[in-house]
């Protein structure tokens, strides 16, 4: 007996607790923590947008919006989890219910295997997030380190280190380190929000893939189980019908769970995708524009942002493709089974699985359906917007 929340989602729980978003923690401290983190993100985007008042050219506007849209993704993600906290709690309870309903040792092993896959994915994304934050937070300090060696002027250093245009309506040279602290805090909270949101959603759908695999296993076991000669035909039919009923039941519950999970995040995730595509195009433009100017720090900054956005789009669509593939496997398993050897009643129940698995079981986000084809379309759209901006600049 395992607890899905504490064993499979333990690392995600720690991440979300750090920013006050874990749905099972509703203390006053957690609420204060959530308000503080959300306030840091909101205020940082506001101070970026106020820089529009001092922007002098189109390139400055693009630079401002490239970073503002990037942080807006974290704001949408934070807001989505904050508002839908009760839905997140229900989803975790539903996964625990699925596990408690498993009786076969092989089915329990399949569930644990997919839970192990999820933990491995979480560890990989945490390491990537730590490396990303380490590079970003040290990026403004590198010129300071080299400046102490080569005796570069302090004002020259500060002009080199600010990669994000902001306007605080104060003396930015005097309060440079406070502004840097605000920037790094926003980066850390934003990346932590991305990690928490991403790993939680990945965990849901990896477990859905595991349950679909269990459905395929149950369908395979229906017709491959050999009956004893001592069992009469009536009892044999009852055993077949019982096994088929369990397969039909779990597949129905999974389809309903996947639909409800997608509907809870559909509109919020749709806004995230729009913001991600826009930010990806703007950061691609930032890479090529700063490459022509020879600004290596700015190139690295936009390159890291573009990599994070590309990875987000790929992982979100890849997990959607995996759900489609697992659902198709249920269909082919039922279709290729020896259904013709079963009773007429059993054949009708197998037909339920064929009909349901022939329907879409996917990650539906507004007009987008998570798949590798959708990923290619989004990247193509982002590159098209970048091409238009770059040609206009030229």
What single string gives the DSSP state of each residue in 68-122?
HHHHHHHHHHHHHHHHTHHHHHHHHHHHHHHHHT--SHHHHHHHHHHHHHHHHHH
The least confident of 257-266, 274-283, 341-350 is 341-350
pLDDT in tens, 164-220: 788 888 877 788 888 888 888 998 999 999 899 889 889 988 998 998 898 888 888
CB atoms within 10 A of CB 392: 10
Tally the C-alpha atoms within 13 A of residue 177's C-alpha that lie toward its C-beta: 3
Q: Positive or negative CA dihedral for 390, 42, 51, 174?
A: negative
Q: Which residue has the tokens 């602290």?
A: 181
- Cβ count within 10 A of residue 345: 11
292 vs 142, higher pLDDT:
292
Q: Over the stretch 271-318, which tens digit does the pLDDT of each residue have?
A: 888 889 999 999 998 888 888 877 777 788 888 889 999 999 999 889
Cα–Cα distance between 392 and 382 in angstroms, integer? Answer: 16
Q: How far apart are CA 351 and CA 98, in angstroms?
A: 23
Q: 258: closest CA among 312, 322, 354, 196?
A: 322
Q: How far apart are CA 173 and CA 161, in angstroms?
A: 12
DSSP states of 267-292 as a string?
HHHHHHHHHHHHHHHHHHHHHHHHHH
In this prediction, what percent of the chain has a pLDDT beyond 90?
16
Sign of the torsion angle spanned by Cα atoms 143, 149, 152, 155: positive
């Amino acid at each position: 007996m395992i607890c899905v929340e504490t064993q499979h989602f333990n690392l995600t729980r720690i991440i979300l607790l750090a920013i006050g978003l874990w749905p099972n923690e509703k203390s006053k401290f957690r609420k204060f923590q959530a308000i503080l983190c959300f306030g840091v993100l909101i205020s940082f985007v506001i101070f970026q947008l106020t820089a529009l008042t001092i922007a002098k050219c189109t390139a400055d506007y693009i630079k401002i919006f490239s970073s503002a849209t990037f942080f807006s993704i974290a704001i949408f993600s934070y807001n989505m989890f904050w508002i839908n906290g009760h839905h997140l709690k229900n989803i975790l309870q539903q996964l625990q219910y699925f596990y408690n309903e498993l009786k076969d040792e092989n089915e329990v092993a399949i569930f644990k295997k997919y839970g192990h896959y999820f933990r491995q994915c979480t560890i990989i994304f945490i390491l990537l997030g730590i490396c990303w934050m380490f590079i970003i937070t040290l990026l403004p300090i590198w010129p300071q380190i080299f400046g102490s060696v080569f005796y570069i002027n302090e004002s020259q250093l500060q002009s080199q280190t600010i990669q994000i245009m902001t306007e605080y309506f104060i003396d930015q040279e005097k309060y440079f380190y406070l502004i840097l602290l605000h920037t790094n805090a926003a980066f850390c909270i934003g990346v932590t929000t991305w990690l928490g949101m991403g790993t939680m959603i990945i965990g849901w759908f990896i477990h859905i893939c595991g349950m679909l695999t269990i459905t395929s296993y149950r369908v395979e076991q229906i017709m491959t189980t050999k009956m004893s000669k001592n069992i009469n035909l009536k009892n044999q039919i009852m055993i077949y019908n019982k096994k088929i009923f369990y397969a039909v039941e779990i597949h129905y519950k999974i389809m309903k769970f996947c639909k409800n999970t997608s509907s809870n995040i559909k509109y919020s995730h749709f806004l995230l995708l729009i913001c991600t595509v826009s930010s990806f195009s703007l950061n691609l433009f930032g890479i090529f524009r700063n490459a022509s100017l020879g600004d290596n720090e700015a190139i690295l900054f936009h390159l890291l942002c573009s990599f994070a956005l590309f990875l987000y789009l790929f992982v979100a669509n890849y997990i959607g493709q995996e759900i489609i593939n697992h659902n198709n496997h249920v269909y082919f398993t039922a279709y290729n089974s020896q259904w013709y050897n079963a009773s007429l009643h059993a054949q009708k129940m197998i037909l339920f699985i064929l009909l349901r698995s022939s329907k879409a079981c996917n990650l539906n986000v507004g007009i987008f359906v998570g798949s590798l084809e959708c990923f290619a379309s989004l990247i193509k759209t982002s590159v098209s917007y970048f091409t238009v901006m770059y040609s206009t600049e030229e």
